[in-house]
Amino acid sequence: MQKQLKRVFLAFILLQPFLDVYFFYVPPLSTLLSFSISTIIRLILILVVAVMFVISERFSRRDWLIFTYIGALAIYFVLHVWNASHFISVNPNNFHFSLVGEAFYVLRMLVPLFTLFVTNRLDFTESTITKIIQILVGLISGSIVITNLFGFALASYGGGWITGSIFNWFSSAVGGSYYGLASKGFFYFANAISAVEILLTPLILYVVFKRLNWLNGILAFSQLLAMFMLGTKTSTYGFIGMAGLFVIAYLTHTLLLKNVKFEWSHLAIIAALLVVAAGLLPISPNSNRANFDVSVQTTRKENEKQAKIKTLERRLDAQLVGKTTAQRKPILVKYIKKNWSRYSLNKKFVFESYSYKNDPEFWFGVMRWPIAERLNYRQVEQAMLDHVKAYNHNPLDAWFGITYTRMNNIFNLEQDFVSQWYSMGYLGVLLLLMPYVFVGAYGVYAWLRYAAVRQFYVSALLLGVVAMVGASVYSGNVMDFLTDTILLGFFEGVLIAAIRRAKQGRLSA
């Protein structure tokens, strides 16, 4: 039974890139069912894995910690929902809080944690993990590169299809148009795939160093190209940073620990990749984004001057003098409806996320921000959430959150741990996200504490999982996406198993 379990489980892991395809998340597929089709498929498959696991595996006393965790999560969820039921907001529908949606979200967040647990118990060999790494890099990076080369890929930013391939980066006419040139293959979110690529970079480099051949060399080169094609800061600078850290790890094992043979060809591979990266960096979509953003700010400042914003505001202030809050509301609603675009505000924020009709005073305040802050969407997103929390004025929100469904109906903040704090509170973060941090911390501790654990294989795994968790703190749109968290859970499970085998003397350098 365990052989069949391993096959089904690995099939589940390798299926993840296919379930992150963009078309699952837009009509008509996204409207067929109340919940995402890809998520439902994942839940069905993980249920099959769970049944096979229970049948084939024996539980030990240590596994009772799992049941303790489940009990703690159940108590938390009851209190989370109880706190949510007393929520007060300016929104007449209370931001569409849904008990079913909340329960489904928590269940969804448990899938990668269960993946971590199962992976650790199944204890896959290094050769099996090497094949998994090769296949994942081929599926993810390979598809991004191929679709870009043929000019038939989804744009990483702004929606729609790319207007040119990597060959157009060299053309001054379109080189700066990162909206049309940054590509994500057929995947849903560029940030989410970027974090997976961060995870896979030290792993594929390890595979190349372990066995240098044409296949592994092509996969590593594809990894480089794909991360630059994605056009996000996480992916572009992530490859360079991860390659640099990998070189440090390699030199540590060859020169200090002396458990890996030093070969100049290995450094030549990294040097060649970094030379290509250095050549692509100035013309890559991401590098031109900063100049583009500055240009946008300058243009919109000029547009605001031409629109005579100050004159309009003086007239508005004159109308508001001596008015009560109730009397101010219709005046501000009319002004915001007519002038929101002159202030370079995001229409979705103003009309849908946190409607100006319900709280015009908030948006009137945002309109007075400097242009750079108004164009900083993360800052506006966080301001909306802060305002919603302040209106509810409940200290327990810090511990139990305002709920995922409410936050998601306002806007999903692009900073994962902060976003989870708003939606699930400190306790939710502790139960649903911190296990990934704890595993990474345990890996660092074990590497420093036990000489036997200081193997190159463990170091590569540790680099990948720690970097991915770090990417989620910086970029967001990672920990809420199951492809990311399932793969993170899988490789963290591999890491724990590798550390255990190393301590037992069953892991070679």
Which tens digits make up the pLDDT trace of 142-190? 999 999 999 999 999 877 899 899 998 887 555 446 778 999 999 999 9
Q: Which pLDDT score, from 0 to 100, does residue 175 have?
A: 42
Judged against a pLDDT cut of 60, whether residue 135 lies above it is answered with: yes
Domain boundaries, the chain: 289-375
Q: Which pLDDT score, from 0 to 100, does residue 10 have?
A: 97
User: Cα angle at 461 between 456 and 465, to 5 degrees?
Assistant: 150
Distance CA 356, CA 350 (A): 6
Judged against a pLDDT cut of 50, whether residue 84 lies above it is answered with: yes
Judged against a pLDDT cut of 70, whether residue 69 lies above it is answered with: yes
User: Look-up: residue for tokens 């299926």?
Assistant: 15
Mean pLDDT of the 461-471 span: 97
Distance CA 78, CA 89 (A): 21
Q: Which carries the bigger pLDDT value, residue 475 or residue 128?
A: 128
Amino acid 485 reads T
Half-sphere exposure of 36 (CA within 13 A, CB side): 19
Phi first, then psi, for residue 154 (nearest 5°) are: -75, 140
Q: Which pLDDT score, from 0 to 100, does residue 291 have?
A: 56
11-25, 292-306, 462-476, 480-494, range with the lowest pLDDT: 292-306
SS3 at position 412? coil
CB atoms within 10 A of CB 47: 11
Q: What is the pLDDT of residues 400-454, one digit of tens each?
A: 999 999 998 898 888 889 999 999 999 999 999 999 999 999 999 999 999 999 9
Judged against a pLDDT cut of 50, whether residue 373 lies above it is answered with: yes
Tokens encoding 150: 């043929």
Q: Cα 456 to the chain's mean position, in Å? A: 27
Distance CA 443, CA 383 (A): 36
Tokens encoding 111: 């899938």
Judged against a pLDDT cut of 50, whether residue 481 lies above it is answered with: yes
Residues 6+ apart with CB under 8 A from 83: 394, 396, 397, 400, 401
Amino acid 189 reads F
Contact 507, 501 (CB under 8 A): yes
Mean pLDDT of the 229-239 span: 94
Q: What is the mean pLDDT of the chain?
A: 91
Judged against a pLDDT cut of 50, whether residue 509 lies above it is answered with: no
Q: Which pLDDT score, from 0 to 100, does residue 296 have?
A: 53
Q: Which carries the bigger pLDDT value, residue 258 or residue 506?
A: 258
Q: Which pLDDT score, from 0 to 100, does residue 176 have?
A: 45
- Closest alpha carbon to 108 in 429, 485, 401, 402: 485
Judged against a pLDDT cut of 50, whether residue 395 lies above it is answered with: yes
Q: What is the pLDDT of residues 44-56, one digit of tens each?
A: 999 999 999 988 8
Mean pLDDT of the 8-28 span: 93
Distance CA 292, CA 264 (A): 41
pLDDT band at 301 (very low <50, low <70, confident <90, very high): low
Judged against a pLDDT cut of 70, whether residue 305 lies above it is answered with: no
Mean pLDDT of the 283-306 span: 62
Distance CA 108, CA 113 (A): 10
Q: Which residues on neighbouring strands pair with residue 21, listed in sequence order?
A: 187
Q: Which pLDDT score, from 0 to 100, does residue 188 have?
A: 92
Is the model's pTM score more than 0.85?
A: yes
